[in-house]
Structure 1
Amino acid sequence: MKLLCKFGMVAALPVAVTTTALSGIGTAQAASPFSDHYAAPYLQITGADAGDMSADMRATGVKDYTLAFLIPRSGCTPKWEADDSSVGAFTSQVKALKQAGGDVIVSFGGESGGELAQTCTSVSSLTAAYENVVKTYGITRLDFDIEGDVLGDAAANTRRNKALAALQSENPSVQVDYTLAVDPDGLPSRELGVLRDAQNRGVNVSVVNLMTMDFGDGENALNDAQSAARATSGQLASLYGISKTAAYARMGLTPIAGRNDDNEVFSQSDAKKLERFAASNGVQELSFWELHDYDKATGFAYSRTFNAIGG
Protein backbone atom coordinates (compact mmCIF):
# COMPACT_ATOMS: atom_id res chain seq x y z
CA MET A 1 0.00 0.00 0.00
CA LYS A 2 1.32 3.42 -0.89
CA LEU A 3 2.49 5.69 1.90
CA LEU A 4 0.80 9.07 1.96
CA CYS A 5 3.51 11.73 2.21
CA LYS A 6 2.43 14.94 3.91
CA PHE A 7 5.35 16.93 5.28
CA GLY A 8 4.15 20.49 5.19
CA MET A 9 2.09 22.95 7.16
CA VAL A 10 0.58 21.69 10.41
CA ALA A 11 -2.73 21.07 8.69
CA ALA A 12 -1.02 18.82 6.16
CA LEU A 13 1.78 16.89 7.80
CA PRO A 14 4.39 15.00 5.77
CA VAL A 15 5.33 11.40 5.17
CA ALA A 16 8.76 11.15 3.73
CA VAL A 17 12.22 9.75 3.54
CA THR A 18 15.03 12.09 4.21
CA THR A 19 18.16 11.30 2.33
CA THR A 20 21.29 13.00 3.37
CA ALA A 21 23.82 12.76 0.62
CA LEU A 22 24.84 9.16 -0.01
CA SER A 23 28.21 9.06 -1.66
CA GLY A 24 28.98 6.62 -4.42
CA ILE A 25 31.75 4.08 -4.42
CA GLY A 26 35.17 5.68 -4.44
CA THR A 27 33.84 9.17 -3.70
CA ALA A 28 35.25 10.82 -0.60
CA GLN A 29 32.77 12.40 1.81
CA ALA A 30 33.43 15.74 3.47
CA ALA A 31 33.84 15.74 7.23
CA SER A 32 30.52 16.33 8.98
CA PRO A 33 29.82 18.47 12.06
CA PHE A 34 27.17 15.90 12.94
CA SER A 35 27.87 12.78 14.97
CA ASP A 36 27.74 9.33 13.42
CA HIS A 37 24.38 8.86 15.16
CA TYR A 38 22.21 11.80 16.22
CA ALA A 39 18.68 13.12 16.73
CA ALA A 40 17.51 16.10 14.67
CA PRO A 41 13.80 16.84 15.30
CA TYR A 42 11.86 18.95 12.82
CA LEU A 43 10.81 22.46 13.77
CA GLN A 44 8.39 24.27 11.46
CA ILE A 45 10.09 27.50 12.33
CA THR A 46 8.47 30.89 12.92
CA GLY A 47 9.41 33.93 14.95
CA ALA A 48 7.10 32.66 17.69
CA ASP A 49 8.64 29.21 18.09
CA ALA A 50 12.32 29.61 17.10
CA GLY A 51 13.19 29.60 20.82
CA ASP A 52 11.98 26.01 21.08
CA MET A 53 15.40 24.83 19.92
CA SER A 54 17.21 26.21 22.95
CA ALA A 55 14.39 25.13 25.29
CA ASP A 56 14.52 21.59 23.94
CA MET A 57 18.30 21.49 24.13
CA ARG A 58 18.21 22.53 27.80
CA ALA A 59 15.51 19.99 28.62
CA THR A 60 16.78 16.96 26.68
CA GLY A 61 20.36 17.46 25.51
CA VAL A 62 19.38 17.32 21.81
CA LYS A 63 21.82 19.48 19.87
CA ASP A 64 20.67 19.29 16.25
CA TYR A 65 17.43 20.39 14.58
CA THR A 66 15.87 20.22 11.10
CA LEU A 67 14.30 23.55 10.16
CA ALA A 68 11.32 23.37 7.79
CA PHE A 69 10.66 24.52 5.13
CA LEU A 70 12.24 26.88 2.60
CA ILE A 71 9.87 27.26 -0.35
CA PRO A 72 9.79 29.68 -3.31
CA ARG A 73 8.78 33.28 -2.70
CA SER A 74 9.34 33.85 -6.42
CA GLY A 75 11.86 32.67 -8.98
CA CYS A 76 15.13 31.89 -7.21
CA THR A 77 14.23 33.60 -3.94
CA PRO A 78 13.16 31.29 -1.07
CA LYS A 79 11.18 32.10 2.07
CA TRP A 80 10.28 30.27 5.25
CA GLU A 81 6.93 28.59 4.70
CA ALA A 82 5.20 29.04 8.05
CA ASP A 83 5.44 32.83 8.40
CA ASP A 84 6.85 34.11 5.07
CA SER A 85 10.15 35.15 6.67
CA SER A 86 13.07 35.75 4.35
CA VAL A 87 16.38 33.91 4.33
CA GLY A 88 18.29 35.63 7.10
CA ALA A 89 15.51 35.33 9.65
CA PHE A 90 16.41 33.27 12.75
CA THR A 91 20.16 33.74 12.29
CA SER A 92 20.54 34.80 15.92
CA GLN A 93 18.82 31.64 17.18
CA VAL A 94 20.91 29.42 14.89
CA LYS A 95 24.10 31.21 15.97
CA ALA A 96 23.23 30.73 19.64
CA LEU A 97 22.51 27.05 19.05
CA LYS A 98 25.83 26.57 17.28
CA GLN A 99 27.69 28.37 20.06
CA ALA A 100 26.10 25.89 22.47
CA GLY A 101 27.48 22.98 20.46
CA GLY A 102 24.47 22.33 18.20
CA ASP A 103 23.73 22.64 14.51
CA VAL A 104 20.83 22.81 12.08
CA ILE A 105 19.77 21.15 8.85
CA VAL A 106 17.79 23.48 6.58
CA SER A 107 15.04 21.68 4.69
CA PHE A 108 13.65 22.77 1.32
CA GLY A 109 10.30 21.69 -0.11
CA GLY A 110 7.72 19.77 1.87
CA GLU A 111 4.24 18.67 0.92
CA SER A 112 2.43 21.83 -0.13
CA GLY A 113 4.53 24.97 -0.42
CA GLY A 114 6.37 24.40 -3.69
CA GLU A 115 9.96 23.56 -4.55
CA LEU A 116 12.69 26.03 -5.51
CA ALA A 117 14.06 23.87 -8.34
CA GLN A 118 10.71 24.29 -10.12
CA THR A 119 10.63 28.10 -9.98
CA CYS A 120 14.37 28.77 -10.34
CA THR A 121 15.07 27.53 -13.85
CA SER A 122 18.77 28.39 -14.10
CA VAL A 123 21.20 25.86 -12.66
CA SER A 124 23.75 28.55 -11.81
CA SER A 125 21.14 30.73 -10.09
CA LEU A 126 19.82 27.74 -8.15
CA THR A 127 23.36 26.89 -7.05
CA ALA A 128 23.80 30.48 -5.88
CA ALA A 129 20.52 30.34 -3.93
CA TYR A 130 21.63 27.21 -2.10
CA GLU A 131 25.05 28.71 -1.39
CA ASN A 132 23.40 31.84 0.03
CA VAL A 133 21.50 29.71 2.56
CA VAL A 134 24.71 27.89 3.54
CA LYS A 135 26.60 31.17 4.05
CA THR A 136 23.74 33.03 5.74
CA TYR A 137 23.25 30.40 8.44
CA GLY A 138 26.84 29.14 8.59
CA ILE A 139 25.72 25.55 8.01
CA THR A 140 26.93 22.58 6.00
CA ARG A 141 23.84 20.38 5.62
CA LEU A 142 20.84 20.90 3.35
CA ASP A 143 17.78 18.65 3.19
CA PHE A 144 15.40 18.26 0.25
CA ASP A 145 11.92 17.00 1.08
CA ILE A 146 10.62 15.95 -2.33
CA GLU A 147 6.98 14.90 -2.50
CA GLY A 148 3.86 14.84 -4.64
CA ASP A 149 3.98 16.24 -8.15
CA VAL A 150 7.61 17.32 -7.76
CA LEU A 151 8.62 13.66 -7.85
CA GLY A 152 7.43 13.47 -11.44
CA ASP A 153 9.05 16.75 -12.55
CA ALA A 154 12.14 15.34 -14.24
CA ALA A 155 13.42 18.77 -15.29
CA ALA A 156 13.25 20.14 -11.74
CA ASN A 157 14.84 17.04 -10.23
CA THR A 158 17.70 17.13 -12.72
CA ARG A 159 18.14 20.90 -12.27
CA ARG A 160 18.31 20.49 -8.49
CA ASN A 161 20.85 17.70 -8.69
CA LYS A 162 23.03 19.58 -11.18
CA ALA A 163 22.98 22.60 -8.86
CA LEU A 164 23.82 20.47 -5.81
CA ALA A 165 26.68 18.76 -7.63
CA ALA A 166 28.03 22.20 -8.58
CA LEU A 167 27.62 23.43 -4.99
CA GLN A 168 29.50 20.43 -3.58
CA SER A 169 32.23 20.91 -6.17
CA GLU A 170 32.65 24.52 -5.06
CA ASN A 171 32.22 23.76 -1.36
CA PRO A 172 32.96 20.10 -0.47
CA SER A 173 31.85 20.65 3.14
CA VAL A 174 28.20 20.87 2.04
CA GLN A 175 26.23 17.68 2.63
CA VAL A 176 22.91 16.84 1.01
CA ASP A 177 19.96 14.97 2.51
CA TYR A 178 16.91 13.77 0.66
CA THR A 179 13.62 13.28 2.51
CA LEU A 180 11.32 10.91 0.66
CA ALA A 181 8.14 8.92 1.26
CA VAL A 182 8.43 5.22 1.99
CA ASP A 183 6.13 2.20 2.01
CA PRO A 184 6.38 -0.74 4.44
CA ASP A 185 8.03 -2.62 1.56
CA GLY A 186 10.54 0.14 0.78
CA LEU A 187 11.00 3.19 -1.41
CA PRO A 188 8.53 3.57 -4.31
CA SER A 189 9.92 3.87 -7.82
CA ARG A 190 9.67 7.66 -8.16
CA GLU A 191 11.53 8.21 -4.88
CA LEU A 192 14.24 5.81 -5.99
CA GLY A 193 14.39 7.71 -9.26
CA VAL A 194 15.27 10.93 -7.45
CA LEU A 195 18.20 9.16 -5.79
CA ARG A 196 19.35 7.57 -9.04
CA ASP A 197 19.38 10.95 -10.76
CA ALA A 198 21.36 12.45 -7.87
CA GLN A 199 23.90 9.67 -8.18
CA ASN A 200 24.11 10.09 -11.95
CA ARG A 201 24.68 13.86 -11.60
CA GLY A 202 27.49 13.37 -9.09
CA VAL A 203 25.68 14.45 -5.90
CA ASN A 204 27.04 12.96 -2.67
CA VAL A 205 23.96 12.05 -0.62
CA SER A 206 24.82 11.52 3.05
CA VAL A 207 21.51 10.38 4.59
CA VAL A 208 18.32 8.92 3.22
CA ASN A 209 15.75 9.91 5.81
CA LEU A 210 12.56 7.86 5.60
CA MET A 211 9.28 9.48 6.51
CA THR A 212 7.97 6.57 8.51
CA MET A 213 4.47 7.98 9.06
CA ASP A 214 0.90 8.08 7.74
CA PHE A 215 1.14 4.59 6.28
CA GLY A 216 -2.64 4.49 6.16
CA ASP A 217 -2.95 0.71 6.16
CA GLY A 218 -4.50 0.20 9.58
CA GLU A 219 -1.42 -1.62 10.80
CA ASN A 220 0.91 -0.82 13.67
CA ALA A 221 2.89 2.37 12.96
CA LEU A 222 6.02 1.04 14.68
CA ASN A 223 5.93 -2.25 12.78
CA ASP A 224 5.48 -0.40 9.48
CA ALA A 225 8.42 1.88 10.27
CA GLN A 226 10.72 -1.03 11.01
CA SER A 227 9.54 -2.92 7.92
CA ALA A 228 10.20 0.16 5.76
CA ALA A 229 13.70 0.53 7.18
CA ARG A 230 14.59 -3.13 6.57
CA ALA A 231 13.33 -3.04 2.99
CA THR A 232 15.04 0.27 2.21
CA SER A 233 18.38 -0.93 3.54
CA GLY A 234 18.41 -3.53 0.76
CA GLN A 235 17.42 -0.97 -1.87
CA LEU A 236 20.14 1.46 -0.83
CA ALA A 237 22.72 -1.32 -0.66
CA SER A 238 21.88 -2.22 -4.24
CA LEU A 239 21.73 1.37 -5.50
CA TYR A 240 25.03 2.45 -3.98
CA GLY A 241 26.94 -0.83 -4.08
CA ILE A 242 27.35 -0.96 -0.30
CA SER A 243 26.51 -3.42 2.45
CA LYS A 244 23.20 -3.32 4.32
CA THR A 245 25.15 -2.27 7.40
CA ALA A 246 26.55 0.71 5.50
CA ALA A 247 23.07 1.47 4.14
CA TYR A 248 21.65 1.74 7.66
CA ALA A 249 24.53 4.07 8.54
CA ARG A 250 23.27 6.45 5.82
CA MET A 251 19.62 6.22 6.81
CA GLY A 252 17.29 8.48 8.76
CA LEU A 253 13.92 7.56 10.28
CA THR A 254 11.23 10.21 10.80
CA PRO A 255 7.85 9.32 12.34
CA ILE A 256 5.16 11.75 13.50
CA ALA A 257 5.23 12.16 17.28
CA GLY A 258 1.81 11.00 18.49
CA ARG A 259 -1.31 10.86 16.33
CA ASN A 260 -0.71 10.57 12.59
CA ASP A 261 -2.95 12.06 9.91
CA ASP A 262 -4.41 8.59 9.31
CA ASN A 263 -5.30 8.34 13.04
CA GLU A 264 -2.64 5.75 13.77
CA VAL A 265 -0.69 6.63 16.90
CA PHE A 266 3.08 6.53 17.24
CA SER A 267 3.32 6.46 21.03
CA GLN A 268 6.13 7.34 23.39
CA SER A 269 6.55 3.61 23.94
CA ASP A 270 6.87 3.16 20.17
CA ALA A 271 9.53 5.88 20.13
CA LYS A 272 11.61 3.96 22.68
CA LYS A 273 11.33 0.78 20.61
CA LEU A 274 12.23 2.57 17.37
CA GLU A 275 15.25 4.16 19.03
CA ARG A 276 16.45 0.71 20.12
CA PHE A 277 15.86 -0.63 16.60
CA ALA A 278 17.76 2.29 15.08
CA ALA A 279 20.65 1.99 17.52
CA SER A 280 20.97 -1.76 17.06
CA ASN A 281 21.10 -1.36 13.26
CA GLY A 282 23.42 1.66 13.23
CA VAL A 283 20.92 4.15 11.78
CA GLN A 284 22.51 7.58 11.41
CA GLU A 285 19.61 9.95 12.09
CA LEU A 286 16.42 9.89 14.13
CA SER A 287 13.95 12.72 13.65
CA PHE A 288 10.24 13.32 14.09
CA TRP A 289 7.52 15.73 13.07
CA GLU A 290 7.32 18.12 14.91
CA LEU A 291 8.88 19.85 17.90
CA HIS A 292 6.51 22.76 18.60
CA ASP A 293 3.06 21.35 17.90
CA TYR A 294 3.63 17.67 18.71
CA ASP A 295 6.38 17.28 21.30
CA LYS A 296 6.49 20.45 23.38
CA ALA A 297 3.28 19.55 25.23
CA THR A 298 4.82 16.21 26.28
CA GLY A 299 7.75 17.97 27.93
CA PHE A 300 9.87 17.10 24.88
CA ALA A 301 9.51 13.37 25.56
CA TYR A 302 10.17 12.29 21.96
CA SER A 303 13.31 14.42 21.77
CA ARG A 304 14.56 12.95 25.02
CA THR A 305 13.95 9.39 23.81
CA PHE A 306 15.51 9.83 20.37
CA ASN A 307 18.53 11.63 21.78
CA ALA A 308 19.63 8.31 23.26
CA ILE A 309 20.83 7.26 19.79
CA GLY A 310 23.78 9.59 20.21
CA GLY A 311 25.02 7.59 23.19
Structure 2
Amino acid sequence: MSSNSILLQHFPALETGVMESPLQGVRFFKSTQPIPRRPLVYDPGICVVVQGHKTGYLGGEAFRYDADNYLVTSVTMPFECETFGSPETPLLGLYIDIDLGQLNALISGMGLQAEIGKAAERGLPRGIGPAALDAEMADAIARLIKALGSETEARLLGPGLVREVLFRALGGTQAPVLHALAMYSGTFSKVAQVLRIMQSHYAEKLDVEQLAERVHMSPSAFHRAFKEITSDTPIQYLKKVRLTKARELMLHERIKAYMAADRVGYESPSQFSREFKRYFGQSPAEMTREARAA
Protein backbone atom coordinates (compact mmCIF):
# COMPACT_ATOMS: atom_id res chain seq x y z
CA MET A 1 0.00 0.00 0.00
CA SER A 2 1.38 3.42 -0.94
CA SER A 3 2.04 6.05 1.70
CA ASN A 4 -0.78 8.13 0.18
CA SER A 5 -3.22 5.20 0.53
CA ILE A 6 -2.19 4.70 4.16
CA LEU A 7 -2.86 8.37 4.92
CA LEU A 8 -6.19 8.40 3.09
CA GLN A 9 -7.31 5.25 4.90
CA HIS A 10 -7.47 7.14 8.19
CA PHE A 11 -8.29 10.64 6.97
CA PRO A 12 -11.50 11.93 8.60
CA ALA A 13 -14.64 13.00 6.77
CA LEU A 14 -14.52 16.80 6.72
CA GLU A 15 -16.59 19.76 5.68
CA THR A 16 -14.90 22.11 3.22
CA GLY A 17 -12.53 24.57 4.88
CA VAL A 18 -10.25 24.39 7.92
CA MET A 19 -11.19 22.35 10.99
CA GLU A 20 -9.47 22.17 14.38
CA SER A 21 -8.51 18.65 15.41
CA PRO A 22 -8.94 17.33 18.97
CA LEU A 23 -5.25 18.14 19.52
CA GLN A 24 -4.23 21.78 19.91
CA GLY A 25 -1.81 22.89 17.22
CA VAL A 26 -3.08 20.44 14.56
CA ARG A 27 -5.69 21.43 11.97
CA PHE A 28 -7.29 19.60 9.04
CA PHE A 29 -8.14 21.29 5.73
CA LYS A 30 -10.24 20.36 2.72
CA SER A 31 -11.06 22.02 -0.61
CA THR A 32 -13.49 20.59 -3.17
CA GLN A 33 -12.63 23.07 -5.89
CA PRO A 34 -9.53 24.69 -7.35
CA ILE A 35 -8.58 28.00 -5.74
CA PRO A 36 -6.72 30.50 -7.95
CA ARG A 37 -3.36 31.86 -6.93
CA ARG A 38 -3.82 34.24 -3.99
CA PRO A 39 -1.86 35.65 -1.04
CA LEU A 40 -1.86 33.86 2.30
CA VAL A 41 0.29 33.54 5.41
CA TYR A 42 1.65 30.36 7.01
CA ASP A 43 2.90 30.33 10.59
CA PRO A 44 5.80 28.03 11.54
CA GLY A 45 4.61 24.50 10.90
CA ILE A 46 4.55 21.36 8.79
CA CYS A 47 1.89 21.12 6.07
CA VAL A 48 1.05 17.63 4.81
CA VAL A 49 -1.14 17.28 1.72
CA VAL A 50 -2.73 13.83 1.66
CA GLN A 51 -4.62 14.26 -1.62
CA GLY A 52 -4.54 16.93 -4.33
CA HIS A 53 -1.75 19.47 -4.40
CA LYS A 54 -0.80 23.09 -3.83
CA THR A 55 1.70 25.31 -5.59
CA GLY A 56 3.42 28.07 -3.66
CA TYR A 57 5.00 31.17 -5.20
CA LEU A 58 7.70 33.18 -3.48
CA GLY A 59 10.35 35.52 -4.81
CA GLY A 60 9.84 34.55 -8.45
CA GLU A 61 10.09 30.82 -7.69
CA ALA A 62 7.40 28.12 -7.48
CA PHE A 63 7.30 25.04 -5.27
CA ARG A 64 4.80 22.19 -5.16
CA TYR A 65 3.61 20.34 -2.09
CA ASP A 66 1.50 17.24 -2.49
CA ALA A 67 1.13 13.61 -1.38
CA ASP A 68 4.85 13.07 -1.98
CA ASN A 69 6.20 16.35 -0.58
CA TYR A 70 5.32 18.05 2.71
CA LEU A 71 6.01 21.72 3.36
CA VAL A 72 8.13 23.10 6.20
CA THR A 73 7.63 26.72 7.27
CA SER A 74 10.10 27.90 9.90
CA VAL A 75 9.02 31.55 10.27
CA THR A 76 5.73 33.33 9.60
CA MET A 77 5.72 33.65 5.82
CA PRO A 78 3.43 35.60 3.49
CA PHE A 79 3.46 34.02 0.05
CA GLU A 80 1.07 33.20 -2.78
CA CYS A 81 -0.60 29.83 -3.18
CA GLU A 82 -2.69 28.02 -5.79
CA THR A 83 -4.84 25.06 -4.69
CA PHE A 84 -5.80 22.08 -6.85
CA GLY A 85 -8.81 20.04 -5.76
CA SER A 86 -12.19 18.93 -7.13
CA PRO A 87 -15.46 17.43 -5.85
CA GLU A 88 -14.29 14.03 -7.10
CA THR A 89 -10.75 14.35 -5.69
CA PRO A 90 -10.78 17.01 -2.98
CA LEU A 91 -7.62 18.51 -1.57
CA LEU A 92 -7.08 16.98 1.89
CA GLY A 93 -4.36 17.71 4.41
CA LEU A 94 -3.30 18.77 7.86
CA TYR A 95 -1.14 21.51 9.34
CA ILE A 96 1.00 20.92 12.43
CA ASP A 97 2.35 23.92 14.33
CA ILE A 98 6.05 23.88 15.25
CA ASP A 99 6.75 24.45 18.94
CA LEU A 100 10.21 26.03 19.29
CA GLY A 101 10.78 24.55 22.76
CA GLN A 102 10.02 21.07 21.48
CA LEU A 103 12.25 21.64 18.45
CA ASN A 104 15.18 22.67 20.66
CA ALA A 105 14.65 19.68 22.97
CA LEU A 106 14.69 17.28 20.01
CA ILE A 107 17.82 18.84 18.53
CA SER A 108 19.56 18.50 21.89
CA GLY A 109 18.38 14.92 22.35
CA MET A 110 19.48 13.97 18.83
CA GLY A 111 22.92 15.49 19.35
CA LEU A 112 22.53 17.84 16.41
CA GLN A 113 24.38 20.78 17.95
CA ALA A 114 27.20 20.29 15.45
CA GLU A 115 24.69 20.64 12.62
CA ILE A 116 23.46 23.86 14.20
CA GLY A 117 26.99 25.20 14.00
CA LYS A 118 27.31 24.18 10.36
CA ALA A 119 24.04 25.97 9.55
CA ALA A 120 25.75 29.32 9.98
CA GLU A 121 28.48 28.29 7.54
CA ARG A 122 26.02 27.14 4.86
CA GLY A 123 24.37 30.54 4.58
CA LEU A 124 20.79 31.57 5.19
CA PRO A 125 18.06 29.15 4.07
CA ARG A 126 14.71 30.32 2.73
CA GLY A 127 12.11 30.28 5.50
CA ILE A 128 9.81 27.90 3.61
CA GLY A 129 10.27 24.90 1.35
CA PRO A 130 9.11 21.36 0.44
CA ALA A 131 10.69 18.10 1.60
CA ALA A 132 10.20 14.57 0.27
CA LEU A 133 7.67 12.52 2.25
CA ASP A 134 9.61 9.33 3.00
CA ALA A 135 8.14 6.10 4.38
CA GLU A 136 8.99 6.93 8.01
CA MET A 137 7.34 10.35 7.86
CA ALA A 138 4.28 8.91 6.07
CA ASP A 139 3.93 6.26 8.77
CA ALA A 140 4.18 8.84 11.57
CA ILE A 141 1.58 11.05 9.88
CA ALA A 142 -0.78 8.11 9.31
CA ARG A 143 -0.61 7.12 12.99
CA LEU A 144 -1.19 10.75 14.02
CA ILE A 145 -4.27 11.05 11.78
CA LYS A 146 -5.62 7.76 13.16
CA ALA A 147 -5.09 8.93 16.75
CA LEU A 148 -6.91 12.20 16.02
CA GLY A 149 -10.04 10.18 15.29
CA SER A 150 -10.41 9.55 19.01
CA GLU A 151 -10.52 12.18 21.77
CA THR A 152 -8.73 9.81 24.15
CA GLU A 153 -6.02 8.78 21.67
CA ALA A 154 -5.54 12.39 20.61
CA ARG A 155 -5.03 13.45 24.22
CA LEU A 156 -2.78 10.58 25.28
CA LEU A 157 -0.92 9.64 22.08
CA GLY A 158 -1.17 12.81 19.98
CA PRO A 159 1.60 14.88 21.60
CA GLY A 160 4.12 12.05 21.21
CA LEU A 161 3.12 11.53 17.57
CA VAL A 162 3.49 15.25 16.83
CA ARG A 163 6.93 15.04 18.42
CA GLU A 164 7.77 12.10 16.13
CA VAL A 165 6.66 14.05 13.05
CA LEU A 166 9.00 16.88 14.04
CA PHE A 167 11.74 14.30 14.68
CA ARG A 168 11.26 12.96 11.15
CA ALA A 169 11.33 16.46 9.71
CA LEU A 170 14.71 16.99 11.39
CA GLY A 171 15.96 14.10 9.27
CA GLY A 172 14.44 15.42 6.04
CA THR A 173 15.70 17.70 3.30
CA GLN A 174 14.35 20.84 5.02
CA ALA A 175 16.25 20.05 8.24
CA PRO A 176 18.71 22.96 7.66
CA VAL A 177 15.77 25.40 7.94
CA LEU A 178 14.85 23.91 11.32
CA HIS A 179 18.50 23.91 12.42
CA ALA A 180 18.75 27.60 11.56
CA LEU A 181 15.58 28.38 13.48
CA ALA A 182 17.01 26.70 16.59
CA MET A 183 20.12 28.88 16.63
CA TYR A 184 19.96 31.34 19.50
CA SER A 185 22.44 33.91 18.23
CA GLY A 186 22.75 33.33 14.47
CA THR A 187 21.50 35.67 11.76
CA PHE A 188 18.47 33.50 10.97
CA SER A 189 17.43 33.55 14.62
CA LYS A 190 17.83 37.33 14.76
CA VAL A 191 15.61 37.82 11.72
CA ALA A 192 13.10 35.35 13.18
CA GLN A 193 13.03 37.44 16.35
CA VAL A 194 12.24 40.58 14.35
CA LEU A 195 9.52 38.71 12.43
CA ARG A 196 7.85 37.83 15.72
CA ILE A 197 8.00 41.51 16.75
CA MET A 198 6.44 42.56 13.44
CA GLN A 199 3.69 39.96 13.82
CA SER A 200 2.83 41.21 17.32
CA HIS A 201 3.24 44.96 16.79
CA TYR A 202 2.26 45.40 13.14
CA ALA A 203 -0.08 48.33 13.94
CA GLU A 204 2.75 50.39 15.45
CA LYS A 205 5.17 52.66 13.62
CA LEU A 206 8.07 50.25 13.27
CA ASP A 207 11.45 51.76 12.45
CA VAL A 208 13.48 49.27 10.43
CA GLU A 209 16.80 50.73 11.55
CA GLN A 210 15.77 50.42 15.20
CA LEU A 211 14.67 46.82 14.62
CA ALA A 212 18.07 46.05 13.13
CA GLU A 213 19.79 47.69 16.08
CA ARG A 214 17.60 45.71 18.49
CA VAL A 215 19.11 42.43 17.20
CA HIS A 216 22.62 43.95 16.98
CA MET A 217 22.83 44.06 13.17
CA SER A 218 23.74 46.86 10.82
CA PRO A 219 20.79 48.09 8.69
CA SER A 220 22.43 46.86 5.47
CA ALA A 221 23.18 43.37 6.84
CA PHE A 222 19.69 43.17 8.32
CA HIS A 223 18.01 44.13 5.02
CA ARG A 224 20.09 41.59 3.12
CA ALA A 225 19.42 38.74 5.56
CA PHE A 226 15.72 39.60 5.84
CA LYS A 227 15.26 39.36 2.08
CA GLU A 228 17.24 36.11 1.81
CA ILE A 229 14.94 34.45 4.34
CA THR A 230 11.55 35.94 3.36
CA SER A 231 12.12 37.16 -0.24
CA ASP A 232 10.69 40.52 0.91
CA THR A 233 12.17 43.71 2.26
CA PRO A 234 11.10 44.52 5.84
CA ILE A 235 8.69 47.19 4.53
CA GLN A 236 7.14 44.79 2.00
CA TYR A 237 6.76 42.11 4.67
CA LEU A 238 5.12 44.52 7.12
CA LYS A 239 2.70 45.71 4.44
CA LYS A 240 1.64 42.12 3.67
CA VAL A 241 1.13 41.38 7.37
CA ARG A 242 -0.98 44.51 7.85
CA LEU A 243 -3.14 43.81 4.78
CA THR A 244 -3.66 40.19 5.80
CA LYS A 245 -4.65 41.18 9.34
CA ALA A 246 -7.04 43.81 7.97
CA ARG A 247 -8.65 41.25 5.69
CA GLU A 248 -9.18 38.93 8.67
CA LEU A 249 -10.79 41.77 10.64
CA MET A 250 -13.20 42.59 7.82
CA LEU A 251 -14.17 38.97 7.21
CA HIS A 252 -14.33 37.67 10.79
CA GLU A 253 -15.35 40.75 12.77
CA ARG A 254 -17.26 42.36 9.88
CA ILE A 255 -15.84 45.81 10.50
CA LYS A 256 -15.64 48.44 7.78
CA ALA A 257 -12.53 48.92 5.68
CA TYR A 258 -11.54 52.31 7.13
CA MET A 259 -11.75 50.88 10.66
CA ALA A 260 -9.66 47.84 9.70
CA ALA A 261 -7.11 50.14 8.05
CA ASP A 262 -6.79 52.18 11.23
CA ARG A 263 -6.47 49.10 13.43
CA VAL A 264 -3.56 47.68 11.42
CA GLY A 265 -1.62 50.93 11.26
CA TYR A 266 -2.69 52.71 8.07
CA GLU A 267 -3.13 56.47 8.38
CA SER A 268 -4.71 56.85 4.93
CA PRO A 269 -7.85 54.81 4.07
CA SER A 270 -7.38 55.55 0.37
CA GLN A 271 -3.80 54.24 0.43
CA PHE A 272 -5.04 51.17 2.27
CA SER A 273 -7.71 50.51 -0.38
CA ARG A 274 -5.19 50.89 -3.22
CA GLU A 275 -2.67 48.55 -1.62
CA PHE A 276 -5.37 46.07 -0.62
CA LYS A 277 -6.61 45.79 -4.20
CA ARG A 278 -3.07 45.51 -5.56
CA TYR A 279 -2.28 42.68 -3.12
CA PHE A 280 -5.54 40.70 -3.09
CA GLY A 281 -6.79 41.50 -6.60
CA GLN A 282 -10.05 43.05 -5.35
CA SER A 283 -11.04 46.09 -3.35
CA PRO A 284 -12.19 45.80 0.27
CA ALA A 285 -15.77 46.49 -0.88
CA GLU A 286 -15.59 43.78 -3.56
CA MET A 287 -14.20 41.29 -1.06
CA THR A 288 -16.94 42.09 1.45
CA ARG A 289 -19.70 41.70 -1.14
CA GLU A 290 -18.25 38.37 -2.28
CA ALA A 291 -18.05 37.10 1.29
CA ARG A 292 -21.68 38.07 2.00
CA ALA A 293 -22.86 36.32 -1.16
CA ALA A 294 -21.03 33.09 -0.32
Q: TM-score range by the shorter chain?
A: 0.3 to 0.5
**TM-score, with length taken from structure 2:** 0.33
**TM-score, with length taken from structure 1:** 0.32
Which structure has the highest helix share of the two?
Answer: 2
